[in-house]
Amino acid sequence: MGTGSDMYRQQILDHYKSPRNYGELEDPDFSHTGENPSCGDTIQMDVKLDEDNEEIEYVSFTGDGCAISQASASMLSERLVGMTLAELEDLETDDITDMLGVTISPMRIPCAVLGNQVAKDGAKIYQGELDPEDYGETITEE
Amino acid sequence: MSTQDAYPIDVEAIRADFPVLDRNVGGDVTTPGEGEDDTEPLVYLDNAATSQTPKAVVDSIVDYYYSYNANVHRGIHQLSQEASVAYEEAHDTVADFIGADGREEIIFTKNTTEAMNLVAYAWGLAELGEGDSVVTTQMEHHASLVTWQQICKRTGAELRFIEIDDEGRLDMEHAAELIDDSTEMVSLVHISNALGTINPVEKITEMAHEVDAYSFVDGAQSVPTRPVDVGEIDADFLAFSSHKMLGPTGIGVLYGKEHLLESMQPYLYGGDMIRKVTYEDSTWEDLPWKFEAGTPSIAQAIALDAAIEYLEDIGMANVQAHEELLAEYAYDQLNRYDDVTIYGPPGDDRGGLVGFNVDGVHAHDLSSILNDFAVAIRAGDHCTQPLHDTLGAAASARASFYVYNTREEIDALVEAVDDARQLFA
């Protein structure tokens, strides 16, 4: 039978079971939520910027859902610290799958990118580039 | 052969009729079909979503396209006549299969969903209004639930849901409360695609008739897996899909009692459904053609005929016995684990599917891990989101069985589930 589960290497299971930076920030510069309806995954990302409002200083997240979505948000919460908002905007799907270090099947890409999309949309709303009326919540779909 | 090995049907011979069951999986999914990196034998346990197709059914499609492809009911030429006869006779085959009185009661649609919509639009919009009620159940597929929900919104009728008990069975006392003089339609699923519950459709139909309401039975999971006789149920409408019973996609069936279908106006207008057209007005063709506007799915109808012939060769009572055997075996194997929650009734009283969750493992993670073991199951809400809200689960995993499945395949499923349990423990 199968050789085990390639998509669930130790790192992903570790982040899923022991999520990093889990919780809400007290006074985030921006906070945004999102959902992946296919798995029912939800993620909230809270971001605190440095005094110049350019570089990400703290990130925390809360959420519920599949291992891929939650582990990806957990890993991202570490990865984003020290990045500028411009660098966040440049994070693509490939960067996320590279970060996860496994091959994500096409059906599971919306799970993998949920945290990233939530952070990016939150940053754009914060910068006035997206209307929060239209982007009350980020949705990732296939 | 020991009793343990005995099946009610010749599974080995049946498997030989399904080429796809020989394929390996596990590799790149962006190129369809078996590739070099596909190395694990497929275990296909997603039959409640769609069944596989035997050679005889594919052959019937090839035969149609290679030797008598033509539009139906149009041409005087020989090919059109041959195609028309085969297309019309497919209605007779379906009528015999479910105990209908004749082809007049058999309307070919795109699928079960379209059959539901046909009745909802053609009957519901015309007949429902303020003060009326439609009674359905908490375990309906979206095909039924969303359709009646929206039709009720448009007509002002009230939509009522019969609740389920802890074992996923209908609360019949609640049903008796809900079905009252305001009720015009009772629409319920015969076998739940998420729970495996077999609903007492005869009893509910009787309750509907006592208050002069009609009954609509969603047979998507029952007609493929057991003998279903519309006369015995006395259902006014029944719907099912070809692709869940060894046939192709693109064709489904609406059964309706002839006098009801006669009284209903067409749902789709166009060619093939009219008798006489002037610039001012039109009259309709006889049943069932009145409800089959436009060029129909001809090859698919002929292939559905072939699929029914294949199932009847096995015998529907035997199909049911095999389904029950596998469902009980899978239920018992999965039920050994304390951290596995199985939804619906006990193993000895369910349709051929098992819906479940493993504590701490999201159903989609479970499905991905099972896929690594070459085991194909469905994970998600199975088009029953409100039911999953009632169950308190965002999603569930579902293994569903058919005539070609074996105990060994269920063992492979259970081994993979056990692997997932340990991985996430």
Residues B343 and B217 in one domain: no
Q: Reduce the DSSP state of residue B210 to 3 states and report it.
A: helix
Residues B296 and B148 in one domain: yes
Residues B118 and B261 in one domain: yes
Nearest chain B CA: its distance from A5 CA (Å): 6
The answer to whether residue B52 sits within a structural domain is: no
Residue of B nearest to A36 (CA): B394
Q: Quick one: what percent of chain B has pLDDT higher than 70?
A: 99
Q: Looking at residue A2, what is its pLDDT?
A: 37
Residues B272 and B400 in one domain: no
Answer whether B364 sits within 8 Å of A111, measured CB to CB: yes
Residues B185 and B146 in one domain: yes
Average pLDDT over residues B127-145: 97
Question: Is the pLDDT reported for residue B366 higher than 50?
Answer: yes
Q: Looking at residue B205, what is its pLDDT?
A: 98
Q: Looking at residue B321, what is its pLDDT?
A: 98
Question: Pick from B283, B313, B343: which residue ends a domain?
Answer: B313
Sequence-distant (≥ 6) Cβ neighbours of residue A51 within 8 angstroms: none
- The CATH number covering residue B42 comes to 3.90.1150.10
Average pLDDT over residues B220-240: 98
Q: Looking at residue B119, what is its pLDDT?
A: 98
The string of pLDDT tens digits covering residues B369-414 is 999 899 999 998 889 989 998 998 888 999 999 999 999 999 999 9
The string of pLDDT tens digits covering residues B241-299 is 999 999 999 999 999 999 999 999 999 999 999 999 999 999 999 999 999 999 999 99
Question: Pick from B313, B334, B360: which residue ends a domain?
Answer: B313
Residues B63 and B181 in one domain: yes
Q: Looking at residue A141, what is its pLDDT?
A: 73
**Are B310 and B261 contacting, i.e. CB atoms less than 8 angstroms apart?**
no
Residues B266 and B411 in one domain: no
Answer whether A6 touches B (CB < 8 Å): yes
Dist. CA A82–CA A54, nearest whole Å: 10
Q: Looking at residue B256, what is its pLDDT?
A: 98
Q: Looking at residue B30, what is its pLDDT?
A: 84
Chain B partners of A111 at a C-beta cutoff of 8 Å? 364
Residues B252 and B335 in one domain: no
Nearest chain B CA: its distance from A32 CA (Å): 22
Question: Is the pLDDT reported for residue A135 higher than 90?
Answer: no
Question: Is the pLDDT reported for residue A3 higher than 50?
Answer: no
- The CATH number covering residue B280 comes to 3.40.640.10
Question: Is the pLDDT reported for residue A142 higher than 50?
Answer: yes
**Are A112 and A104 contacting, i.e. CB atoms less than 8 angstroms apart?**
yes
Answer whether B395 sits within 8 Å of A7, measured CB to CB: no
Question: Is the pLDDT reported for residue A115 higher than 60?
Answer: yes
Exposure pattern of B304-319 as b/e (b: 16+ CB <10 Å)? bbbbbebbeebebebb
Chain A contact probe: residue of B24, B25, B358, B372 with most A CBs at under 10 A: B372
Q: Quick one: what percent of chain B has pLDDT higher than 90?
A: 92
Its domain, for residue B115, covers 57-313
- Out of B68-77, B111-120, B177-186, pick the least confident: B68-77
Answer whether A105 sits within 8 Å of B423, measured CB to CB: no
Question: Is the pLDDT reported for residue A4 higher than 50?
Answer: no
Q: What is the DSSP letter of B303?
A: H
The string of pLDDT tens digits covering residues A58-87 is 999 999 999 999 999 999 999 999 999 999
Shortest CA distance to B201 belongs to which of B233, B169, B161?
A: B233
Q: Looking at residue B394, what is its pLDDT?
A: 83
Question: Is the pLDDT reported for residue B3 higher than 60?
Answer: no
Residues B74 and B173 in one domain: yes
Instruction: Report how far apart, in Å, the C-alpha atoms of B315 and of each of B2, B309, B312, B372 are.
Output: 23, 10, 5, 35
Residue numbers of A between 55 and 94 with CB closer than 8 Å to B: 64-68
Q: Looking at residue B5, what is its pLDDT?
A: 66
Answer whether A66 sits within 8 Å of B373, measured CB to CB: no
Total tally of structural domains belonging to chain B? 2
Dist. CA B228–CA B97, nearest whole Å: 8
Residue-range domains of chain A with CATH:
3-132 (3.90.1010.10)
The string of pLDDT tens digits covering residues A10-48 is 889 999 999 999 999 999 999 999 998 877 889 999 999
Answer whether B368 sits within 8 Å of A105, measured CB to CB: yes
Residues B235 and B181 in one domain: yes
Q: Looking at residue A131, what is its pLDDT?
A: 83
CA atoms lying within 13 Å on the CB side of residue A7: 28
Strands B282-284 and B43-44: unpaired
Q: What are phi and psi of B273, to 5 degrees?
A: -110, 0
- Out of B167-176, B217-226, B382-391, pick the least confident: B382-391
